[in-house]
Each structure stands twice: as structure tokens, then as C-alpha cells.
Structure 1
Amino acid sequence: MRVTLIDEHDYAAQMATKVLPALAKCRVEGWMEPASAPGLPAPATSGKLHYVCYDAAKFDVLHEDGATAAFRGAVVISHGFTEFAAKYAEMVWYFLLAGYSVCVFEHRGHGYSARDVANPSLVWIDDWHRYVADLAKFASTVGKQYADGFPLNLYCHSMGGGIGAGVLETHPTLFDKAVLSCPMIAPVTGMPNWLAGALANVLCGVGLGRHIVFGQGEFTPELNMADHPGASEARVRWFQQQRIDDVHQQTYAATFEWVRQALRLSRAVQRPQACAEIETPILLFQAGRDMWVLNEPQNRFVNEVNADGGDARLVRIDDSLHEIFSMPNVILGPYLEQILTFFGSSEMAQF
């Protein structure tokens, strides 16, 4: 399915005058109590988890150019590390045009969701199982409500993809289709991950679990496009402006406990026994120029899922950076078309 992409040469203006006003007319904000699960301790601090949903029926009455008249279900979005719901406004727009309601969940420690550290730049989590349990609860309640008996699909990126993989393994019938976009099956740590895990264990053991990871820094408003070679400058600058405008969206760096939990999540989702539990058809996108997650573990994950009768397909985009949705239209367009074709097909599309 084709949709008309936002013009990169007039991006900020189109987002401000067309996309965001339309989204505001079908946007509902909500809060969810964190999930409870056997063996999962109470959260370190109290507070609810934030989400925003966009109703396809309310969007339909706006009669936006290119919008379909057919309701196709709902898409749950699971964002990446240090991200936030507002960053996905453009992707929400495209899903709405295609006939899907959209539910964007802000993981604990991100956006407006409950936090466990005072510094708005830092992300900390005590147990990776919490991420998985919270997303599963959100999808099975709010997501199902918005799907209204139609397909419930998952779109996730990076850390959100690692969490999504965990949900697919533990709740094999929750989603009808799942897109894992550059999922954090294994993060890049700058050293062998077994060594990074050992170091994180030591540093957390001596009380540095909430300390910022060495070499990372807190949020600053300055943007260096040299850090995003080949990305759409208009999109990257728009993302940065969202951070500048809202302190809740300035998460920017990992703590040592987050690293330890990310590596534990990575080991868990790669276990053959866990991969064998997946029943949901998966479309996994891999970026050839990814600097944040490792490609080879993604390959192994797909192979393990398929080895046990699963339905997973890997699409590699050689010229893309980690955030495929931040790339120029020439890359974003085919990426989006494949996602919408996959969600809309009755069986795995052949790419």
C-alpha cells in the first residue's frame, strides 16, 4: 500500500500545520497502572505509565487526502531507548492514513511515564521483565480495545523491539503481526557483550547502578548532523526540537543498571526455547549502517524462530542508519510500503 510521504523540504511546516493538528483531533491521552507478575517486585517508585492513542474513526471524519475508508485494526508502537511518544507522530500519521488506530506506549523511565531517577537525562530500570510485562498489559487491554475485534499489530524499534520480542515469546497469540525495526536483540556496547555484562554486574554491585554510563552525556540542545550521516536532516532536527521543547522528552543516556538489564534481556530473547514459543508472523528490518544494535544476533533470532516452525522474515536496508524512520523519503517510502503490505496481507508477504 502506498501513502504520500511528507515533503522533506517543507517538513517542519507540514508537521505544524497539517499533521499535528489532525492528530490532536483524534488523540486520547491515558495512564496505566504498572503490571504485576509473579516474581516481579514492586516498582522502585510509585506512579503510572503514560500512553497516547489515536482513533481511526475520529481521523476518518477529517477526510484527509489519501486516507482509506476501511478500518483495519490497531497498531501498538513500542519505542526505543531514550525515546518518547511524540517522536512517532509521522509514523502515527501514516498508520492512520492506512486505516489503523494507533496506541503509543511510553516505557517506564521514558516520556511522561513513571521514573525512578530524578535526572531527566537518565534511564534506569531494575528488572527487564518489567518492560515486557507492562507492554503486554498495555496491548492486551488498551490495544485490544482500539483494535475492536480487528487485527492487533505491533510496530517496535530498537529497545522497544527487544521488549517486543520478549512479549512475542511470552504471549504468542497477543499480536496478529509484528514489525521489529532494528530491534535490540543485542545492543552495541563497545566491547564483547559478555564482558560488558560482567563489568555492569561489578559496577552495579558496588552501588553505581544509577550512575551514568562512562562516555555518555546528559541532554544538550546542540545538534551535530555529522552524528547522523545520510539521515533526513529535516526529520532529525524535528526530533531534536521535540526534546528541546519538553523536559519529559530529554532522556538521553543509560545507567549501568539499564545496561545490565538490557544485556539480560538480550540473552533471554535469544534462547532457542524462547524463540520456539513465537507464533506471530514477524517482519524484521535490519539497518546496514547500524551503530546501536548488532546485526548478527538479529540474523540468529530470525533463524531460530523459523527453525521451530515460526514465520519470520528479515529485510536488510544496506544504506540505512539505525532509525530507518529518520531516513530520507527514498528509503522511508519502500520501508513504509513493506510494513503496510505486511500488516494488510493475510499471509507473509514475499519481499
Structure 2
Amino acid sequence: MQITLIDENDYRHEMETKVLPALEACRDEGWFEPPEPKGLGPAPTSGRLHYVCYDAARFDAIKVAGADATFRGAIVISHGFTEFAAKYAEMVWYFLLAGYSVCVLEHRGHGRSVRDLDDKSLVWIDDWRRYVSDLAAFAGTIGQQYAGGSPLNLYAHSMGGGIGAAVLEQYPTLFDRAVLSAPMIAPATGMPNGVARVLAEGMCAFGLSRHVVFGQGPFDPNNLDMSEHRGASEARVRWFHHLRCEDEHRQTNAATFEWVRQALRLSHAVSRPEACANVETPILLFQADHDIWVLNQPQDRFASLVRDGGCEVELVRVPDSLHELFSMPNAVLGPYLDRILDFFDDPVTAAL
């Protein structure tokens, strides 16, 4: 189906007067008790994970122009590093227009979910497997509830894509289809990742697990440098910045050495041939042409290994694009969104 994109020239006004009120009318907010993964023991800090869901039936009831009245299932969104649920409001809007309910889990250490550090600007995790266990349990309960017996799909970006890849390997029948958007199969660390792993392991061994990594720091509301987003939609970038400024829970901004160590351990785990061979869910994997946050070559290898295991993977490299593909101008976002919706709605893919 054809979705009308938000006008970039009137972006904030459309978001505030059309999109957000409609989302509020079908929005459910909740708290999810995370499971204890086997072999890990209890989390360092007990607490619940925050989520937001949007019900397609209630959205349809408000008669939004251009909405598809056909219910198609549910989409679980797995967000990226330092992100939060509200950042995905525009993508949620498009998915609702297409007939999907949407569920967004805020990963631990992000948004309003439980944190292990008092400093809300930092991301720390004791073991990457908690992310995977959290997402799988959320999708298997809340996500399935909103799917109501119809397909349950995954849309996962960056760090959330790395977590999503691990879920697809460990829970091969959980999702019907999965979109991995610039997934963190391997992070870009500014050095060979083998060297970065030794460095991160060493810093943690010296008691600096909770210390911010070099070159990163707290969120500064007065420091939005558009030169760092050259090529993206300025309206979208400024909107994301506005969202962060208005809520301190959205101001997570920097990695700790432990997070880097766990990100690299996750990368190693999801890239193993025997793990990739477990995937049964058809995947649409998007690469950003100018990605400075994750590495594209490991994505190529991941896709090849999943195919070798007998699962369908379509890999699409988006020309002249940045890491946050959903932040690109309409000329890029439109074809990207069309590919996603066609993939989710493809009966041939669904039958694979």
C-alpha cells in the first residue's frame, strides 16, 4: 500500500497536531517484569522494563485518512543504543496506517526502564544475554497478545538489530518476519574490533567497567551539530533532539567500557556459523551507505551464513544514506518504508 509521508517542511506541526494525538488515542503504556536468563542469575539491579504499545483496532476507530482497515498483525520494535520509544513515533504512525499494532520495548538502561547506574547519561549492561532474554520474553507475551494470532514481525535498528539477530538465532520460531535496519552485527569502534575487545576487557579488569569510554560524555541540549547529520532530514534530526531535551529519561548518551565489552561479545556470538544456521525467520536487512556506527562487512557475512543455513535473507544497501535510515529525507525514507511494508505483507515470504 502507499503511505503518505509527513511533510518535512511542516514536520513538527504535523507531528504535534496530527500524529501524536492519533497515537495517544490508541496508546497503552506498561511495565514488564524481565525474566532471569538461565545461567546468569539475577540482574545487578532489580526492576521492570518500560514499554509502549499501539492498538491497530483503536487506531482504526478514529478514522485516520489513508489508514488501511485490514488488520495485519503486530510489529515489535527493538531500538538502538541510547534511544527511547518516543523516537519511533513516526515509524509507529506508518505501521499503524498499514494495519499493524506496534509494541516498543525500552531496553534496560534506556528510557524509563530499569537502570544499573545512577548516571542516566551512561549505558551499562552486565551481560548482553539479558537484552536477548528481555526482548524474546516481551515479544512472546505482550507482542503475541497484540498480534492476536496474526503474524508477529520484528523491526530492529542498530544495537536493537544486534539483539534482534541473537533472538532470531536463539528463538527461531518467535517472529514471522524480521527487518534488521543497520543492525549492530559488529559495532564500529574506531579501531580493529579485536584490538577494541582486548582494550575493553582490560579496562573492565582494572575496575573501569562503569566508566564512560574515551571521547563520549553527557547529553548537551545546546549542542546540536547538524554537520554530524549531513544528508539526513534536518526536520527529523531536530525533532529527535527536541524529544531528548524535554525528558531527562531520553538523554542517555554514552557507553561504558562494560557496554563496549558486551557489544563485542554479542557481535562474536551472533556471527558464529552454527548460530546463523539456526535462523528460520525470513530477514530483510538494510545497510546504510555511509554508516559510521556499525560495520557493513560483518552484516554481509551474517547474511551469507544465514543463507547457507537455508533461510531467506534479502540485503539492501541504501545509497547516500546514514545509519539512522528512518531519519533520512522523504526521497530516501519513502522507498525504504515501501520495501519494509511489502516485505511484511508478502504472502510468499510469509510461507517460507
Report the TM-score range of the alignment, normalised by the length of the smaller protein: over 0.9
List per-residue Cα deviations over 1:167-225 (Å, max 9, x = no partner). Answer: 00000000000000000000000000011000001100111000000111210012010
2:109 matches 1:109: yes
AA aligned opposite 2:296: N
2:319 matches 1:329: no
SS of the residue corresponding to residue 278 of structure 2 reads: coil
AA aligned opposite 1:223: L
Q: Distance in 2 between matches of 1:215 and 1:98?
A: 41
AA aligned opposite 2:287: Q
Q: Distance in 2 between matches of 1:84 and 1:111?
A: 5
Q: Distance in 2 between matches of 1:295 and 1:303?
A: 13
List per-residue Cα deviations over 1:17-41 (Å, max 9, x = no partner). Answer: 0000000000000101112121022
Aligned to 1:199: 199
Aligned to 1:302: 303
Q: Distance in 2 between matches of 1:334 and 1:229?
A: 20
SS of the residue corresponding to residue 303 of structure 1 reads: helix
Q: Distance in 2 between matches of 1:315 and 1:41?
A: 39
Aligned to 1:35: 35
The CA deviation at 1:346 is 1.1
Aligned to 2:271: 270
Where do residues 130-279 of structure 1 align in structure 2 (5 Å cutoff)? Answer: 130-221=130-221, 222-279=223-280
SS of the residue corresponding to residue 204 of structure 2 reads: helix
List per-residue Cα deviations over 1:234-278 (Å, max 9, x = no partner). Answer: 000000010000000001100000000000000000000000000
Aligned to 1:61: 61
Q: Distance in 2 between matches of 1:95 and 1:348?
A: 18
AA aligned opposite 2:16: A
Q: Distance in 2 between matches of 1:127 and 1:238?
A: 32
Where do residues 307-322 of structure 1 align in structure 2 (5 Å cutoff)? Answer: 307-322=308-323
AA aligned opposite 1:337: D
Percent same amino acid among aligned pairs?
68
Aligned to 1:46: 46
AA aligned opposite 2:31: W
Q: Is the 8 A contact 2:211 2:256 kept in 1?
A: yes
Q: Distance in 2 between matches of 1:305 and 1:56?
A: 32
Q: Which runs of 5+ in 1 are unaligned?
A: none
Q: TM-score, normalised by structure 2?
A: 0.98
Q: Distance in 1 between matches of 2:205 and 2:317?
A: 39
Q: Distance in 2 between matches of 1:94 and 1:299?
A: 28
Q: Which runs of 5+ in 2 are unaligned?
A: none
* Runs of 4+, deviation exceeding 6 Å: none
AA aligned opposite 1:83: E
Q: TM-score, normalised by structure 1?
A: 0.99
SS of the residue corresponding to residue 348 of structure 1 reads: helix
The number of residues matched between the two structures is 349
Aligned to 1:290: 291
Q: Is the 8 A contact 2:85 2:104 kept in 1?
A: yes
The CA deviation at 1:48 is 0.3
The CA deviation at 1:318 is 1.9
SS of the residue corresponding to residue 302 of structure 2 reads: helix
SS of the residue corresponding to residue 29 of structure 1 reads: strand
